[in-house]
Structure formats: C-alpha cells, structure tokens
Structure 1
C-alpha cells in the first residue's frame, strides 16, 4: 500500500491527506509522503529492521500519520499507545512489545519522561519528540534533517501491533505475521471495503483517537485510496457537525457514545449545521441501543451502516442501514469467514439463543498474542 501512487500529478500531490480539526492544520499527500520517507530512512540508520517495533505516544496531531506510514513501509510494527495511560502502564507496553524506538509528542511529555523509571531494561536507543523538547530525547526535525524524502531502497510492508485488554488484566499485544513483501505487493488494509464504500472524491471524518485500532486503520486506508481524512484533534459533538459542514464530509466512522452526545445537542444547534454532504457513515466498537440508532437515522437518513469485528481480525459482520431498519438490533451477516454462537460445551445454538461468539476467518489466521500467561480456550478445532 502506497501513498505515492496518488502523487502522479501536481493536483494529487497538493491534495490534503490530513486536515486537523478544529485547528485547520493541513498535511498534503506530498508532505505526508516526504515526511514518512525521511523518518523511514532514520529508522534504517538507527538499525531498525523488518519485525522491529516502534512505539508511538502521540495525540491526534499532524505527525502521527507520518510516523505510522514510516514504520509500515519499513517492515516495522507500530504501536500507538493510549494517551490516557500512566507512565507505568505505557512502559509495560513499551517493554512487552520490545520496542526499539519511541516517538512522542510535547502533549505527552510527562508520560514520556516517566517511562524510564518503569523499564527494567532501560529506554530504547532511538527516542524522538515530534514537537518540543524533552531531556534525553532527540527533536524530531533534527533527527530527520538531511534524510532524503524519497523511499528507502528496501521497503517492506509492516503492520499495526495493537494492545487490547478489555476491563481486566494487562493489555495483550495482537500481532500479525508480516507478509515479507514490498508495500505495493501487500494486501491493502480494508482496501475492498474502502473501494466499495468511498472513492477519490470522498472526504472521510476520523473523530476518535488514533491509538484505537479502527481509527488508525480506517484513516490510513482512506489515505492509501487518495482520500482526504479530516482528523478531529479531540471529539466534541458540535465540533463534529462543524467539521462535516466545513469540509463537506461524505463518510465517517463513529462509536455509539458519539451518537448519544450529538443527539443530546439542542435542536437549534443540530439544525444549524448543513450535513447534506454525508453519503454513508459507519459505527462499531460497542453495542448501539436500538433507539439511539433510530434517532440517528431520523436525523441523518438511512445512511448509518454498522460492522462488528475484533482487533484480532478473526471474523467480522456488516449490516447496511437498509437491512438494519428491517432487522433492528442486528449486526448483520459475516463479511468474511463464519460466525458461530456456542453454548458452554461448544455446541452450536439455534437462532435467538444467547451464547459465546466464535468467529472463523476466511483464511487461516496468522495472528498471535504477546502475553506471558497461558491462553484460555479461544480457538475451536472444529472451525
């Protein structure tokens, strides 16, 4: 997957790849390409090779996509760390993932500075802060100064290394085997769905923190398709409506809590924004109350699709707005693979009965978890 395929003419090069909202900061496709390439060269210069890990401690800012793209096109894993974690919690992920580099930001200065006291093996050698100063850390502009804005010679496809934990225990790293091929030979992140759902003229709104799986994957997939991504620096319900109106947003992905907050806005506020540019929106991450979704459809029209999936990427379902109106509360049919609802003994249950969800991917899974305790039964040998 390449950004540079959209730089074949001056119009594409100058097209915004990222627009931060509400600040209005713009990063063009040409700028994103050059920044990612310079950082990729720096990673190689520091000795990072295929399979190594880069930890990212950044809020939604103008640098985070360049860091993720630099790692992804260098055959590296990149780990966006939850910005709300305490230093000890963030350090656990740095240590558990065996990160060889950390790229932080001034906004996360205190977290970055507190890592050292919680890392038994010490900090990685390559430490950069994107926008500011931090003792012992290199300044991002100086670290990449003099590096070429052209691709490294040995580009390889990397991947997201996401940490997920639910409500109990330490986070677990969800690690997929790398494809060991150049980016242009690798299967695109959600490329089939993006191609079906959007086109080059679409404008995609990313309202959630990019340390979450879906926001990072969807925004990068949109960029890979030449689509402008409007990234909210922090979600606010009225600000989201302003972004839709200001940038003529056509598509976006939300979570149910965002719907609830937008619906709580006074009618005069909701009705003061022009959202007619919206063609389709998607939601996931948590159950959406039927009444909330009905209210969103009444407001935005039958354009609210939903999917159910996991960070492990083992099975997923999709339901369109039209199908949901006929089957309220459903999360649809499998997009790939199969979904089974089983009882405690592993027997398949009939429709309408509660049970445990088991998913089977369409192809053999190449996903593992980084953890130090035995894993409870999670995979059915019966498929």
Structure 2
C-alpha cells in the first residue's frame, strides 16, 4: 500500500481501510475485525503511524498550547474526556489529528459496574457523543477509558465493561478504531489482555521509565497480538523514583527527562507492534510536583523536554532542530539534606545556554506535597514558603531554612530570553 493511500485511509476510515488493504490477494472476503492482529496490519499501520502516532503527545492544555504543539512537530494529540471535544475544532486548522477520549467512570471513584442502570446511562452518553463527533475531520481514533482498572483487585469485569463500551462505539462509528488504555503494572495484568476485548482494535499502555525496553518481549510472552500504542510515555513515575529517608521522591532534571525521550523514541519507532507513542504530558499538571510530568511551564513556555521531542519528530520529517534551544542544566546540588530551623541553605546549578544567551533563574521553596493521588487524579499544589534570601543569582542561591519543621522542596526554573526553560528541584527537611 502506498504512503499516499495510507494517509488517505487515516483521514477517512482508518481501520476499515487498513484491514481491507491487508486482505490477501484472491481472498473471497475481506479480513474481519475479529482477525485483526499485529501480524495482519502492523506493516500497513506502521507506515501511517510513523507519520502520525509516532509524533503524538498526551494533551491537557490550552489553545495556545495546542498551537505550540503543532509548531513543535506534533501530528496527533490524545485527549482524555468528552469535555476536551473543543480540541477537535481547534486541531483541524492546525493539521492535527485527535485520539478522542471517552471517559469511563472508575470503580475506585465509587462507580458500580454491576449497576445496570448506571452502566446503561454511561453507554447512552458515549453513544450520543460519538454520533455527534464521528464525522469530524480531525478525528483519528476513540480512546475508550483510561486506567479504569486502577485499584481493582480483579480487572477482568472492568475490562469486559470497557469492551462493551467499545462495541457500542463501533456500532455508532465503524470507521474509526477503538483503543482501550491500561496502566503497565506487571505481567499479572498484561497476560489476561491477550484474550480480552474483541471490540478493541488498539491496546494503549501507559508506561514510565525504562519499562518500555522489555515491553515487546512481555507482549510476546503474554500472547498479545493487537497493535499497541504507548498512550503515556514518561521519564520516571514518582512511584518509581528513589526517595530521601523521610519519603520524598527525587525528581529528574529537565535534561535527564530530555535524554530519556532522546533515547526512547527512536527505539520505540523500530518496534513493529508499537504503532504510536504519546509522551506525557503536553500541558502543566500537579502530580507530586508541578514539573514532574509537565512538558510545558505553567505559562505555556517550552522546555528542554519539548526540544528533545521536536528533534525526534524532525528526524522523521527531515526538518531542522529547534532554532533556539532551552538552557542546558547539567547538575544541581544542595549543601545538605537536613537543616535546623533558620540554618543556611545553599544550592548551586551547573547550567549554560547553548547559544550563550543570558539566563534568569526563578528560585522557589514550597512545602512537600501531601495531597497525593493515584491514576492522575487532581492534586492540590502546595503553597510557596517565604524565606530570607541571602544571595541569589542564575546559578546559586543562599537562604535561611524555614522556621517551621517539615518537608520542603527547592525549585529552580532557568530561562533564556526566548522563554524556554530548564528545571530542577531538590527535597530537603527541616527539623
């Protein structure tokens, strides 16, 4: 199948076109959806995905953020819920495609999957939404739920419900593929997916840190043949990070996160069963910290991570790297981990600008986050803490530790005149 025809398929009726094209010569009838597997459609799908879903991001942002994504080289955005439908209209003039999320209620939030009335109401809500938006030119696929199985002892009944919702979506819109999304929590959850969910065309997996490296082998061991999309790719989950003795997780610097994407994206593009990758998160969101997973600054500013992503997307398009890179923050240090109230705290950065531009650093102390949730649930941002500053510059700060004992975190945001940022933070304890 030619690349031109592949792209046309994606624009009109993605999976139906690909499945029909995958039918063997002389076949009496086209390949059925029930026959879909990585073996059957991965070559055709990858030809398309190389130009689309391998240039994707998970998106929770503003219209300005969406414009910035398109300018950075993004081709597909994945959104999570029906309230994000505005993204369809905003994406079309930018030439972006959308994996449109359909939010399914979670048992951990109190939804009873055995309540037939509640389940029927959820299905009717999804059907109505799909009927309204199924012909939108920016629509690429439907994302049916996101980690609905979180904190459920036996995920099988939940996934059966997801499959029912996917079947309902197919009845309303046979022309766009359905994708379910699960968390990567181990083989005990991965293996049952091999025999699950025949109405789901694509298996989405949210995966963090180096776990992507053995994913192809784990898919083979589990017997999963569906095409797979990495629906969230993050450098390091806060649940995976090393911790200080008092329990505070240690966040990577922006450079370390950028290096992760530089290493992971080319490798994932070479895996035939993985047909798309969505780095997490094009936007800004508090999860442990406001910078842990955010690819953007709160004001929409680009970062070292977005530079790394743009470089990878431009490789596929034979384009140019970012013209004005973010500052390069290669190290951060603090004179101790534990301080007496009012003691002197000092921190230094090893940071330069690739083009020799002047740098400005914003330093901030906040209490350590205590409103910690699972599954991406909204968290409260800890308040800033006023401290007595003794010295402050682009690469150094000295200040008095807070008088109140407790866990804190020192944040450094370094910007150049373009507004691009490098970030780092360090937890410390006052006692």
Decide: shared fold, TM above 0.5: no
- Please indicate the TM-score interval, normalised by the length of the shorter structure: under 0.3
Q: TM-score, normalised by structure 1?
A: 0.27
Question: What's the TM-score once normalised by structure 2's chain length?
Answer: 0.25
